[in-house]
Every structure is written in structure tokens, then in C-alpha cells.
Chain A
Amino acid sequence: MVEKRKLASGLTTIQKTFVRSRNGGCMKIVREHYLRSDIPCYSQACNHCITNLKPDAQGNLPLLVLLDLPLKLKNGGQHYVVVDTNVVLQAIDLLENTECFYDVVVPQIVLEEVKNRSFPIYQRLRALVKAADKRFVVFHNEFHEETYITREKDESINDRNDRAVNRCAQWYNEHLAKYSSTKNPIKVILVCNDRNNRKRAIAEGIDARSLEDYIESLPNGDMLRDLIPTENESFEKNAAEIAYPEYYSTSRTMAGIKNGTLYQGVFNTSTYNILEGSVLTPAFKKPLLIVGTKNLNRAFNGDLVIVELLPKDKWREPSTTILEESSIGANDNADDNSQEDLVSDKERRMLALEAVKATIHQGEKKLQPTARVVSITRRSWRFYVGQIASSSVDNETSNASQTCFVILMDKVLPKIRIKTRKAKELLGQRIVVSVDAWPSNSKYPQGHFVRSLGAIETEGAEREALLIEHDVEYRPFSKAVLDCLPKEGENWKVPENLDNGDEQLKKRVDLRDKLVCSIDPPNCQDIDDALHAKPLPNGHYEVGVHIADVTHFVKPNTALDSEGASRGTSVYLVDKRIDMLPMLLGTNLCSLNPYVERFAFSVIWELDENAEIVDVKFMKSIIKSREAFSYEQAQLRIEDGSQNDELTQSIRILLKLSKKLKQKRMDAGALNLSSPEVKVHMDSETSDPGEVEVKKLLETNSLVEEFMLLANISVARKIYDAYPQTAMLRRHAAPPSTNFEALNEILRVRKPGMSISIESSKALADSLDRCVDPNDEYFNTLIRIMSTRCMMAAEYFSSSSYGYPDFRHYGLAVDIYTHFTSPIRRYCDVVAHRQLAGAIGYEMLDSQHRDKHKMELIVRNINKRHRNAQFAGRASIEYYVGQVMKNNESTQEGYVMKSFNNGIVVLVPKFGVEGMIKLEMLGDANSAAYDEEKYELSFTDFKGVSRTVGIFDKVQVAVKSVQDEVSGKRKVQLVLV
């Protein structure tokens, strides 16, 4: 009983009735639903819709995206594609592939169904539509009066929706036939994996094909065939054997969480042992341990899982054994499910060993509660990079598809079973795979091949692999983004006439007469910051920090802004930089290059003789940098007594003040922590990595750093003052005492008399200063490196998330802090710029930066991106250090940082590399004994000499580079000499 009414405005209204049940009750909901005739088909071949376009609130007309000359099939048919829900859910990778799927119509009902089933896939689909380069459109079939269909009596909602998709395809056919401007109307192909629905569609005269048939009918179908995701059934040969415990039902887990018997948290696999992981839940202070395949129950590193506690007699301490995926299950046969023994013998032995130990230590406080995974709320599945295990490929079978294992680069993840016809070809290549499912009767997760990056150890393949592994967006900027850049391109200039009627330009302060210069690493292309200083008549100093005015070009709510926000940060690899913003801005228009006029955002202080702030002003400005120095050049200029020009003198003022600022920070308890940072020198001609050196710090490094800190602090106070609820800030929490427990315990045993106190950052700094071994200069640095790993990570936050006392930046020992000085490469700084511009009344602050919820989303994303970028950078250095070592084997000094019952971890300061030496590499495994109390491992080495090594010991190691046979990863291998 649908009542339809035509309204005067041309709309038809109907009432949609549906029943919703919640909490046992049941509600009838009636909603209005308007049908209209002015929804365009978005085809350029149509000469009807173009006459009936309606503008949006900004007055923009919709773009007709679908080409009038779309792609052809093998047999020549030009076509558009209509996809159904299951195809999107299963094959989103294929939709994103640049080799196929152009001119695609996504019916609204499909979009809605996708959103209800998987929000991440929905977002990817929306991104495809937005980017426009693959010509995807959403057709609102539910709002179109010719395609809206009502649910029939006794028809299930799914059947109704399938019918709606069919109707949509049919409508396109009719519509294009009627209004086509070309002679042969474009055909529509419905790609649909449901056999019954396909049959119905064909009966209605629609060209419906399964995904496989469709790909097959493309000219490049052969190439794409392997990319079709596996359907579940294809692997299920021996469905009878059930290996893993089944997951609990949703209702059971919901009830369990409610009454406190089940807990939810993010699962993390242990770095050194893939059969062990932990889940940190709000209910417990310590993480819950999860040990063994059955208890892990198919959880991936990073999944949101629900766990159940195990009885107390199963509680134990974290394992002291190293275990990698490569060492267990290396002999599994990829094709054969039935013979798999889920718990391998090796694993059983290890469990028993651990259990014995747990009973000995019963009652000690080291014991940790254990749990098992009973359900997975959200999978962390993404694209993974790996390589096909050569042992799983059958070289005899020629081109038939075969099942093989892919070993992932990320060692804490299990191998993935895929089916491919190209197994032989893909051997020795870095490939990208995607995980489809992990049924309870399959020992390994099932996935499909996505694409190949190239041969292992080629520069391009390794770099791309690294970027994918760290979830870094590295594709070129889309057209929509580039369209937001200034039309003038490289010729953009600061307007000559400052009084040209532009209100904003009038508000800028002209600082072109100031002697501004920039000091950066050599060959720096994106210069974010520049400085100036001059003495004032009253004996004080005027000091200015000028930051690239990125927000002049990156306006809120543009494609450029959302791309920057989603990238969050630039990523620096040894040989490449992945920009957050397009090159034109980063290295040209925004970059404060010397000798040219640039827009800047300036912070200008009046500082007294002791570098105390007397006054601070913030302004948008125009500057002209006089010189771009490298740290070394600036250092030389300062030291060169013959140079006494004004610019040099102002740098000397800056240096003098910066030393005072630094001293004040140190007195307040700022930490001087350490991490082994190294730099890889690239040969400038061949761009081969040459040598590795530990980064040197000059006085001028710290000159720039001090003023940047000062600017960040001043800006943080200002924006917090203006926007107490949504100011973009950065905090660094004090480390919880438990983090230092283990390190202090080791110190107590190994270095009596030394300890680290953490009551305040001052106390920590002082106690670190006291950890000195007169016989070993490096020991203090080693302790600093180890302490750094016990610290909390600093994080971005919006000011409503914490109370003022918790804003503290522990490491810098200041009460409030933000990032303001690098807007070219960090999105936090972009937000801080906008908020500061709002705070000084330069322009209105966009509503998204005044909305707590939206700020929360921004903050969460940039924290994640920041972390990923750091990891990617480190991984890139690690890779290149490995490459350098390839030709330079040598013996170096190393320090033991960790000890296990079957190996040790050694740090080599010269190269900043850290490596594990397993017992098998040390000597006779049977002779080994591990003294847990003393953190010492004793063994007989291959020469028959018995040795003992413990944490902090200085050892001589041979450093060489080897390629891991299983994962294909080149890494530094250390051997005790």
C-alpha cells in the first residue's frame, strides 16, 4: 500500500515503511522518500540529461563523467559497467586497478549495502568516485522515479535490492538507446557474482556476467585473470577437518563484554615470537598474554579481538624464546589441508618448556594472566607484501593454477595461501597480496595475488614494498588535487601592488626589510623556516621565526586539503621523499627560498639579555630571505672572524640566545635521549649507497631547533587561549613506572649501584647523567637508547581530550606544546596555522577545526601517519645499511641489549644496526644454559671454548649482509667473534 503523490515542484513523494526491532521491542518507522526525474545518467553520450542539470549550493553543476567512447571488450563492444554489492566487496582491489574497470556505474543501493557491510571498502569506493580518473559514478537509483522499485509481498530485502540493481542496468540500456548521440548506443554490462540473479537479469535482457567472465572478455583479460579474488569454496577440499575453535556468536560476545567475562582490545603479536601475543584491555593494568596457535585463533597483528581469560593455572610469564614464522611450519604443503597437524611438534615442545618454567616461578609477580581469542571484532587486513615460498611451487605443472604460500615481509604475520597460474613467473619477485578469509578449517589464511612490484632487491620494488607495508600513500596526486594549485604555477609571485583591494593581503605585514636567512641540512629543498634577529635600542633583541605560509595555498575543504590531511606527513626515505603536498608548493611556492619574496607566518619576540620573552607577536607577513645556509656553512660563517656583516652578526645573536634557551630547558629537566641515528651517503653519480655514518650535530643544528621549540610553545599558548576546546596540541606523557621496571632490574643485577629514577623528567635526566661506566664511554649512550624505548610516544591531541596538567611535554619539560614550524611536511602544523590565523583575527577559522569530533578524527589519523612514517624511514635506512654491508664485511664493537634462552640481541653503534644472534649461530645448542637471574647466556662456541655473555657486555661481532632465504629480505647478520 504505497501512496504516491506528485508534488507541484515535480517531485513524487512516497512513504517508506519499515520495522526496526531493538532491545526486544519493535517499532514501525515511516519515512518520507522523494522520487525525482532530474538525476542525470552522467554519460557524455547522452543528449538529454545535459539539458536538465541542477546546481549545488555553491552553484556548481554536476560533471558528466562517463566517457562517450568507453573501453571496448575483446569483441569490440563499447560498454559501461554496473557492479553489484558482492563484486565491490570481493574485488575492490580490482576496481582500483588501473588496467580495467573504467566508466563504472555504482547504483546507490549497492553503495548503501557496501557501507553497511564494510565501512573501509565503502570509503575506498567513495574515493574512487571522487578521484574521477577511473570515471566511477554513483547513480541514485533509489531516488529516480524510473528506477525506484517497491518491495513485493513475500520478497526478501536482498531480492528486492538485487532487482533494483537489475532495474538500474536496464534503465541505462533504455536511456542510452533513446538519447544516445552516437550511432551505436553504448551497452551496459552488469557484473554480478550471484548465479540466480544473473539468470533473472539475462531473462530481462540485460548483459549480465560473472566477474570472471567479464575479465575474460576484456582485451587484457589474460593478464588480469590472476587478480580475481578467490571465492571461498575453491580451497575447501577437505571441509570435514575443523582445526581452529569456532568464534563465538555476536550475541554471546556482546553479553560477555557486558557482564565482564570477555574483554575487547587490540591484539599485538610479540616482536620476537609469533606464537605469542598480547592484548591490552582497559580492565587490566598488564596486557593479557595469548600463547599458542589455538589460543591465538587466527588473530592477525593489529586486529580488534575479544578474549576470554584462561584459568589461573595456565598463567605464565612472557616467553624468553625467539620464534619466527620461517622456522615453524616450513615443511607444510600448501595444497594439502588434511595432513596438517595444527600444533606442530616443535611448538608442543616449546609450550612444555614454558610450562615447566611457569611452575617454577609460580607466585612471583612476573606471572601474567593468559587468555584466548574467542572472536574478532575488526580485522586489520590490508595489502601485504611478500614473496612466494619456492618450496611451495610445483615446477612440473605448467600453466594450470596452483596453490602456493606467500611469505610476508612482516615477520609477525603468518604466511598466506594463494592460488595463481603464474607461480613460476612470480618466484623471486616482491608481490602484493590481499587476504580474503581465514576459515576455521584452514591452517593458513587465504588470499589472492594483487600485483607484482618487481624482482626482489631491485631498488624500485623494495621501496614500493616498504611504502605499502607502512601504509604510506605514494601514488601521484590526483587531478582533483592538482587543480587546487594556483593557476600561475611556477610563475606565481607575491603581488607587487600590496593595495590591490585584497582585504587579506592588506592585513599582511611587510617584513621584506628584515635580514632573514634560513639554516637547513645541505641540499634541503623544502625550506619551512627562516630566522632573523637584531638588537633593539633598549638592549633587548628582536627575534623572528618565519614559517612558510602553507595555508595561504591549502584552503580548508578542498581536495588538496583532504589529501594533505589523509597523508598527514611527508615520508623521508634514504633515496626518496614522499610529499604530503604537491611539489609545486613544497619546494617552490611555499618554500622560503633565498632571494625571492614569499608569504610567511611570522612569530616575532622581544627577548631580553637572558632570552626571556618580553613580548610576542604573531602575523602573516611577506619576507625575502637573504641566504639559505646549510648547518655547516652557517657554522663556518659564525666562526669566521673576518665576516662582520649584519647578517653574520644576527646569526651570532641567534646563536648566543639559543644557548641560553637550551640551558634553561636543560635546567627545567628536558631530556637528552638518544637513538642510534645514522645517515646513508649516496654516491651522487650512481646513486648507489656508499657509506654509513652516525649523524653529527653542530651548534647551528641546535640554534635552529631552540627557536623552533620556542615558536611552537608560543603558538601553543596562543591557540589554546583562543580555542580552549579544539586547539591542536602535542603532548608527551610521563612514562609509567612499569616501563622502567625491567631496565632497572637489569641495571640492579648487571651494574650494581646504578638505577634510573623517573619521578620527574629532571630526575630522569639527572639519573641518566649518573649512569656512567668509567671504562666504557659508550655505556651512557647505550642506557639512553634503552631508556628511550621505555618512554611513551609523543602524540597529537585536541585540547578537549585532556585536562591542562596532562598537556605536559615530558621530554621537552614544558607545560604546553604544538607543532607549528613545518607545515610543508606535517598536517598538524597546517591546522595550527589555521587556528593561529583565526586567533589573531586574520581570517575565520574553518568549522572543522572548531568541531571536537572532527578534530578527534584528524588527530587520530595524523598520529597514525606520523608513526608509520617513522617506521618507514627506519626500515629504509635498515635496507640501505644492508646494501652497504653487502660489500663491506668487517668486525665491529657491539653491545648486548637483550638476552633470551636461545639467542641475544646485539647493537652495533657504528652502523646503528641491531641484530639477533640465535643460539645455533653462537655455538653448540645443547651445551647452552640461560641464567635468567643474571641475564646471561652461556654456551660452548664452535671453537670449543665455553663463553658467557650477558646484557651490557661489549662483544666483537662480524657484520655481514645476508639475504633471508624465506622472506627475501636482506638484513645485517651479526656473528660473534
Chain B
Amino acid sequence: MSRLELYSPEGLRVDGRRWNELRRFDCKINTHPAFDGSSYVEQGNSKVICMVRGPMEPPMRSQVNQTQAVIEMNLNIASFSTLQRRKRSKNDKRMIEMKTTLERTFEQSVMSHLYPRTLIEVNVQVLAQDGAVLATMTNAITLALIDAGVAMYDYVSAVSVGIHDQTPLLDLNVLEENDMSCLTIGVVGKSEKLAMLLLEDKMPLDKLENALAVAIAGGHRIRDLMDDEVRSHGNQRVSKLTS
């Protein structure tokens, strides 16, 4: 197959977006009422479910931390989530890297000192991968934690950005991700603070600042979309209570 025009001189990407446009972002919370918190996020064709239990008593004493809550991440990527069906083991290097990144991100974003000696169990299930999987997982976890009522400093909204020649491209799909180095960031609320930054290739230093600016703006838009969902869900619940 010949190489794709990833970013045409006319300024359009393979899927018809411009450089600074997000893909379709759909999210729902409280999708699995059996859990304390749950969410479902679609970012383009990347689809992720997240379910949270806790804060709860840890089943094993060894897991206890006297001063703060322990967050346990369980990632599961369905074998049918990519084109080539492939079973990913839990010990896959990339899986471990994503797991640690997510754990560190949320240990800082959750007010874990409020819940000493407890465990927060986060289960993430990736159903389909179409680029920016880490970002989709981060957004799903944020929503599920909010649904579970876990206190957080602010939203963590994540998005990826890549550099194609001179142009930063926001929210890469899988075709784009395979062809350029890409950076995933998690923005805290409406600030310019980052809770997460993962660069899985190299990126010229002089382009980084520009890429970050584009990504932060994208993160803020995602935060607003998540906030809309949280508020409308909240309103729904309130109207049920009052009626």
C-alpha cells in the first residue's frame, strides 16, 4: 500500500479533520451500577469501560498504607480490540508501563490522604483500539472515580498529540499514531498543570512547546465534555430524588 497523505497540503488529515480538531468524544457515567463507580468512553473508535470499587477495606493487610489510600490498577485489553487479534499478557512491557503511568497519575490527583488504610480498585477494560488508548483510559478512570464519589483535586483529561513535519496534530487515530512520534498528556482541570506526560518516541525539543499548547487546549475541551456528562447525570439523579 502506498503511503498515506497524513496531512495534506490543503490542511486535512486522513480522516478529514483539521490539525486541531478532536475526534468524536462520547462518554457515559454510572454504566454499571453494581460497582461503586463506572464509566464508558469512546474517543473516536477507541472504546474503554472503567469500573471502580472503593474506597474499601483491603482484602489483605499487607496492602494497607497508614497515611493514604492505595490505588490498584487492573488493565485488561481485549484480544479483539486491534486488527490483528493478539492476546496481551499482563506482563507485556507496554501494559506495565501504562499501568505504572496511570497509577502515578491518579495517586497525585486523588485526595488519597482522606482515605487512609483503604484500597481503591480500578478495573479498566479496553474494548477497541484506534489510537490514543492511554488517553481514553485516563478519561474513563477520571469519570469512574468521580462517579464513585472519590475526592479529586480536579478533572484529569487526557489527549494525545503528534508532530507531522512542522504541524502538531491533535488526538491521533491509529493510522497517524503508527506513523509519527506522539505524546500523551493529562491536564488538570482548566489549568495548564500536567498530571501525566508520556512520550513514546522522540520529539524535537523546539517543537515540544507548540505541541503541548495544542494538547492542553484539546484537554480543556475534553474536560468540558466530561463535565457536561457529569452534570447532566447529576441533574438526572437529583430530579429522581426530588420527584
Q: Give the interface of A toward B (CB within 8 A).
A: 5, 7, 9, 11, 13, 15, 27, 29-36, 39, 54, 56-58, 62, 115-116, 119, 126, 129-130, 138, 140, 142-143, 557, 844, 847-848, 850
Which of B12, B19, B23, B207: most chain A CB closer than 10 A? B12
What's the least CB distance linking B101 to chain A, in Å? Answer: 26
Interface size class on chain B is 20 to 34
Which residues of B have CB within 8 Å of A116?
A: 2
Cβ A844 vs Cβ B206 within 8 A: yes
In Å, the complex CA distance between A128 and B8 comes to 14
Residues of B within 8 A of A (CB): 2, 5, 8-12, 15-24, 44-45, 83, 130, 165-168, 173, 175, 204-207, 210, 214
**Which of B2, B12, B22, B167 makes the CB contact (< 8 A) with A57?**
B167
Contacts A/B (CB < 8 Å), 9 sampled? A11-B16, A35-B16, A36-B16, A62-B10, A138-B9, A138-B10, A143-B12, A143-B16, A848-B165
Q: Do B15 and A140 touch across chains, with their CB atoms under 8 A apart? A: no
Chain B residues lying within 8 Å of A848, measured Cβ to Cβ, are 165
Using Cβ atoms and an 8 Å threshold, which residues of chain A touch B15? Answer: 31-34
Given A57-B20, A116-B2, A143-B12, A32:B166 Cβ within 8 A:
no
The answer to whether A29 and B11 touch across the interface, beta carbons within 8 angstroms, is: no
> Complex Cα distance A138/B9, Å?
9
Q: Knowing A9-B21, A57-B167, A138-B10, say if A32 contacts B2 (CB, 8 Å).
A: no
- Name which of B5, B130, B173 has the most chain A CB atoms within 10 A of its CB: B5
**Docked-complex contact B23 and A850, CB < 8 angstroms:** no
Across the interface, which residues of B come within 8 angstroms of A11, CB to CB?
A: 16-17, 21
Q: Which residues of A contact B20 (CB under 8 A)?
A: 57
Q: Residue among A13, A35, A844 with the most chain B CB within 10 A?
A: A13
* Chain B residue contacts of A130, Cβ below 8 A: 9
Distance between Cα atoms of A33 and B2 in the complex (Å): 19
Q: Are A57 and B16 in contact (CB under 8 A)?
A: no
Q: Is the interface of B mostly helix, strand, loop or mixed?
A: loop
- Chain A residues with Cβ below 8 Å from B130 are 31-32
Q: Is the CB of A32 within 8 A of B205?
A: no
Name the residue of chain A whose CB is nearest to the CB of B14.
Answer: A31
Q: Which residues of A contact B165 (CB under 8 A)?
A: 557, 847-848
Nearest CB in chain A to that of B170: its residue: A57
Closest Cβ of chain B to A808, distance in Å, is 30
| 9 interchain residue pairs of minimum CB distance | A143-B16, A34-B16, A57-B167, A56-B11, A847-B204, A57-B19, A844-B206, A13-B24, A32-B44
A27 to B86, CA, bound (A): 14
CA distance A5 to B20 in the complex (A): 20
Give min CB distance, A560 to chain B, whole Å. Answer: 15
> B11 near A138 (CB under 8 angstroms)?
no
Cα–Cα distance between A62 and B21 once the two chains are bound (Å): 17
Kindly list chain A residues whose C-beta atoms are within 8 Å of the C-beta of B167. Answer: 56-58
Could you say which residues of chain B place their CB within 8 Å of the CB of A13? 23-24
**18 additional contacts (CB under 8 A) given A115-B5, A848-B165:** A5-B24, A13-B24, A29-B83, A31-B15, A32-B15, A32-B45, A33-B15, A34-B16, A34-B21, A56-B11, A57-B166, A58-B166, A58-B167, A119-B2, A138-B9, A140-B8, A557-B166, A847-B204
Q: Looking at the complex, which one of A5, A140, A557 makes contact with B16 (CB distance below 8 Å)?
A: A140
Partner of B17, one of A15, A31, A34, A142: A34
Known contacts A7-B24, A138-B10, A844-B205: A32-B168 contact under CB 8 Å: no
Q: Which residues of A contact B10 (CB under 8 A)?
A: 39, 62, 138, 140
In the complex, what residues of A have CB within 8 A of residue B9's CB? 126, 129-130, 138
Residue of A nearest to B84 (CB): A27
Is the Cβ of B19 less than 8 Å from the Cβ of A32?
A: no
Q: Shortest beta-carbon distance, B98 to chain A, in Å?
A: 23
Nearest chain B CB to A118 CB, angstrom units: 10
A296 to chain B, nearest CB (A): 29
Bound CA–CA A57/B8 (angstroms): 13
Interface hub of B10, B22, B23 (most chain A Cβ within 10 A)? B10
Is A138 within 8 A of B204, CB to CB? no
Contact B16 A142 (CB under 8 A): yes
Query: How distant is the Cα of A818 from the Cα of B44 in the complex, in angstroms?
Result: 48
Residues from chain B with Cβ under 8 Å of A7 in the complex = 24
List chain B residues, Cβ under 8 A from A129.
9
Which residues of the partner chain A approach B21 to less than 8 Å between Cβ atoms? 9, 11, 34
Closest to B85 in A: A27
Inside 8 A of B173's CB, which chain A residues have their CB? 31-32
| Contact, CB under 8 Å: B83 / A54 | no
Chain B residues within 8 Å of A31, by CB: 15, 45, 130, 173, 175
- Contact across chains for B12 and A850 when beta carbons are under 8 A apart: no
Please indicate the chain B residues that have their CB under 8 angstroms from the CB of A33 in the complex.
Answer: 15-16
Select from chain A the residue with minimum beta-carbon distance to B210.
A57
A15 to B24, CA, bound (A): 11
User: Please, how many angstroms separate the alpha-carbon atoms of A253 and B21 in the complex?
Assistant: 45
Which residues of chain A have C-beta atoms less than 8 A from B207's C-beta?
847
In the assembly, what is the distance between CA of A130 and CA of B21, in Å? Answer: 25
Known: A27-B83, A32-B45, A844-B205. A9 touches B22 (CB 8 A): yes
Cross-chain contact of B24 among A29, A32, A138 (Cβ < 8 A): A32
A682 to chain B, nearest CB (A): 44
Bound-state Cα–Cα, A29 to B173, Å:
14
B23/A32 in contact, CB under 8 A: yes
Q: For A9, give the chain B residue with the smallest CB separation.
A: B21
Complex Cα distance, B21 from A13, in Å, reads: 13
Shortest beta-carbon distance from A915 to chain B in Å: 46
**Complex Cα–Cα for A15 and B16 (A):** 12
Q: How far is the CB of B74 from chain A (nearest CB, A)?
A: 27
Among B16, B23, B166, max chain A CB count under 10 A is at B16
Shortest A282–chain B CB gap in Å is 24
Q: State in angstroms the CA–CA spacing of A31 and B176 once bound together.
A: 12
Q: Are A54 and B11 in contact (CB under 8 A)?
A: yes
A850 to B45, CA, bound (A): 33
Nearest-CB distance from B14 to chain A (Å)? Answer: 8
Specify the chain B residue showing the minimal Cβ separation from A31: B15
Question: CA A115 – CA B4 in complex, angstroms?
Answer: 9
- Contact residues in A for B168 (Cβ distance below 8 Å): 57
Q: B150 to chain A: closest CB distance in Å?
A: 28
Query: Could you say which residues of chain A place their CB within 8 Å of the CB of B206?
Result: 844
A54 with B16: CB separation less than 8 A: no
Q: Indicate if the CB atoms of B8 and A62 lie closer than 8 Å.
A: no
Q: Which residue of B lies closest to A38 (CB)?
A: B18
B19 touches A844 (CB 8 A): no
CA distance A62 to B18 in the complex (A): 13
- Shortest beta-carbon distance from A693 to chain B in Å: 50
Residues of the B chain whose Cβ atoms lie less than 8 Å from the Cβ of A140: 8, 10, 12, 16
